[in-house]
Amino acid sequence: MNSIPALFLALFTAAVSAAPILKDTIVGGLKDPMEVAIAPDGNLFVIEREGRVVRVNPQTGGLFEIGTIPVEHLKEADANSKYAREDGLLGIALDPSFTKNQRIFLYYSAADVIANRLSRFTLKDGRIDLASELKLLEIPTERENTVCHHGGSVEFGPDGLLYVSTGDNTNPFESAGFAPIDDRDGRTERDAQRSAGNTNDLRGKIIRIKPTETGYEIPAGNLFPKGTEKTRPEIYVMGCRNPFRISIDPKTKTLYWGEVGPDARGNSDNGPQGHDEVNQAKSAGNYGWPFVIADNKPYPIRNFADNKVGKMTDPAAPENLGQRNTGLKTLPPAHSAFIWYTYGDSKEFPVMGKGGRNAMAGPVFHYDQSRKHNVLDKEDDATLLTYEWMRGKIFKAKLDADEKLEKLDLFLDNLVHPMDLEMDKDGSLVLLEYGSGWYFNTNGGVYRLRPDDGNKPPTITIKPTEGVANGYSVDKAADPENGKLSVTWYVTEGVTERKLGSGSSITLPAGSYQDVRAVASDEKGALAFARIALDHSKDLPQLAIEIENPKKQRGFGQTVKFKVSSATPPDAKQVVVRARYIPPTGHDAGGPQLGIEIEDIAKANQCLACHQVELPSVGPSYLNVSMKYRSQKDASEYLKDKLKTGGAGVWGDVPMPPQIAIKPDDADKLIAAILGLSTGMSETKGTLKGSIQLPPKGDAQPGGAWEFSAEAPDYSSARIRIAAE
C-alpha cells in the first residue's frame, strides 16, 4: 500500500514572466474548499463548503481540523435538490491582530435561520470556540427554487476595514440568461430588483464595516451616509450579481472583484448577451446589476407576464420600480466594468480567449526586492492578478499610475478550478484549487506558486513497513538535482503535530493519530510531503454486492440476480447497479476512461470543469450521457449540436455554455469517445435486490471478466468480478 505523493510538482510556462512558475502542492484531499487566509506565522486557514475549517502548516504538510461550523448546504444524498444550491461556509478572514487575539471572521449560511451570517469566532487551544461567536450581520435570504449566488468573500483592507461580498440570491434560470427582473406576484426568487438593485438590502453588494469589540461601526465613505432613508449604510458597492472573490490593493486600498455574469448567448430585445466582469472601485459606487452589465450595456424593463420590453435603462440614472424594492427608486449612476468578456472571443480583451466563464479577482502585485520571491518582474509592479475558475487561467492586468488598465496578458494556464489566490509575505502566491467537479470534490488542494529558481523540490512516497507493526518507511524519494535528501517524520494529534525523528523509517509510539507524514528536504530547503491517513472514523459506509452463484462463469446476454446491502441500508431509489465487461487485454484501468488524446481535448475546451467520466458534477457524468444516448440513432449529431449551442433542462437547471471554440474534428472525437464509454455495460436502478441482464457480445473478445458494481450517494461503492465465459 503506497501512499500517493502529497507533493505534486508542475511546471508552468508563464506567458510574460521572466521565469517559469513552479506549482508546489502543500496539501490535497480537501472537499470543496472555498477560501484561504494566511496567518502572520505562515499557517494557512482553509474553509470547506460543508462547514469544516482546517489549519495547514506549509512547512510540514500538516492538516489540522480546528472546527466545524453548523451550516446549511447542498447534501450529496440529495445532490439534485433545488434547495440551498450554493449555501454553505463561504468566506474567511483573520483579524489584523490575529497573533494576539486569535480571532477569525466567517461568513456562512446559518442552519438555525434562513439567512447568511457574518460572525467573529475566537480560537481556544487551537480550536474554534463555538461559544465565542459574536454575530455581526445576519442577511435574510431565500433558499427555495434553485436560488443561487451568495458571493461570500471576506477580506480586511490595510486600514482594518472589513469587506464582505454578497450575491443577488436569485434564481437565474428562468430569465433566458438576461436580467432577472420578474415583477410578477409569486416570483420573488426570480427578481434581483429586490436584492442587488435595492439600496435597502444587503444582497448583491460588497459591504464595508469597521469591526469593534462588541460589533461594528460604519466607516466614512460608504455609498449611503448613515441615516439616509431607504438605504443600508453598510453598503460600499451595490449592483452586483455574484461578486465571488474580492481583493484590496494593500497600497492604494482600491477594491477589486470578479463578477460572475449571466448566460445569454447573444444580444436580443431582452438585453445584451451575458458577460463576466472584473471590477475596480476606488470609492463607493453602483455597478448596475440587474439593470446594466459590462461597459454599461443597459437592459430594458421587461414585462414577464406578456414578454414585452419597455423603457430602456439609463445607466446615468437607473430606476428600480419593482414591487419588491424597499429602497430608493432612482439609483446612483452605474459604473462600467474594468474588464468584461463573453463566452466567445472578446473584441476588447482578446487575451481572455473563449469558453466557460467565472471571473475572480486576486491580489495586486507590488515588486519588493527584499522578498525571497517575486512572482512577477520589477516592470510588473502594480499588476492585478485576475483568474478564471472555468478556464483554469490566471491573467495579469498591468495598472498605470492612475490605476487604469495598461495591458492584459496571460500569466498561467492549466489550473483546476482556481478558487482563491493570495499573496504571501515572501512574494509567492498561495493558490486554492476547488477540485475537478462542481460539488462534492475530494481533490481540492492548496498550492504555492513561485518562480523557478533552478531548484525543484524533491519527491517522496511512503508505505507501511512489511512485517513491522506500526512501522512506516520511505518507498521512493528523489531529488531532481541529485542532491542529498533528509527525511523527517511527523504524526498529527488533533490540532497539533509531533515530530518523531529522522531517517528512512519510523515506528509509531503508542497513541491515537490522524496521519503519519514524511517531509523530504533537499540541501537548499525545498520540501516534499507524503502522508498516510490513520484515522478512518469518517470513512463512508461501505456497500456490498452479492450475485447468485458467484463462482459460475457468465456469458453475454445472460440475466444475473444480485443483492445490495450495507450495515446502514441506503435509499433503494438512489442505488445504481451496473455490469461491465472487461476484455482480456492484460490490464484494466479500474473503470471507463477517456484516452489521453480525448482527455486533452476535453481539458483544452474546459469540458472537465463541469463533467467527469463517472461522477456527476454540475453536469452529468460522461458515462451517464453515454448510457442515456447510446441507443439513439442520431446521438452523435444531437450531442454535437448540444456542444455548439449549449442549453439546460435535460440534466438540470444549470446551463451548459456553448463550446464554440471546439474544432469540428475534436468535437467528433470527443462525442465518439463519450458514446463509447458505455460499451459492454448494462445497468438497473432503484432497487437493492433484483436482476440485471448482461450486455450483448458485440465485437468483444471472449475470455475476459465481468465487473458488477453498486453505487449510492454518501456510500463507498462496491465492486466484484467474476470470470466470463
Binned average pLDDT, 10 residues per bin, the chain of 725 residues: 32 49 95 98 98 98 97 89 95 98 98 97 97 97 96 98 98 95 97 98 98 98 98 98 97 98 95 97 98 98 95 98 98 98 95 93 97 96 96 96 98 95 97 91 94 93 94 96 96 96 95 94 94 79 90 90 93 92 59 76 74 72 84 84 73 69 85 85 93 87 82 85 81
Beta bridge partners of 661: none
The whole-angstrom separation of Cα 523 and Cα 526 is 8
Asked if residue 158 has a cis previous peptide bond (ω within 30° of 0), the answer is: no
| Closest to 135 measured CA to CA, from 105, 167, 94 | 105
CA atoms within 13 A on the CB side of 102: 12
CA distances from 154 to 47, 75, 105, 142, 187 (A): 12, 24, 8, 21, 30
Q: Which CATH class is domain 459-533?
A: mainly beta
Residues spanned by CATH 2.120.10.30 within the chain? 88-439
| Closest to 243 measured CA to CA, from 287, 180, 307 | 287
pLDDT reported for residue 719: 84
Q: What are phi and psi of 257, to 5 degrees?
A: -155, 150
pLDDT reported for residue 190: 97
Q: Could you please state the CATH topology (level 3) that the domain comprising 544-723 is classified under.
A: Cytochrome Bc1 Complex; Chain D, domain 2 (1.10.760)
Q: Could you please state the CATH topology (level 3) that the domain comprising 88-439 is classified under.
A: Neuraminidase (2.120.10)
Full-model pTM: 0.81
Going across the sheet that includes 418-423, the strands are: 9-12, 21-30, 444-451, 429-433, 418-423
Residues spanned by CATH 1.10.760.10 within the chain? 544-723
pLDDT reported for residue 6: 31
pLDDT reported for residue 314: 98
pLDDT reported for residue 611: 78
Residues spanned by CATH 2.60.40 within the chain? 459-533
Over its C-alpha atoms, the chain yields an Rg (Å, rounded) of 27
The whole-angstrom separation of Cα 257 and Cα 242 is 10
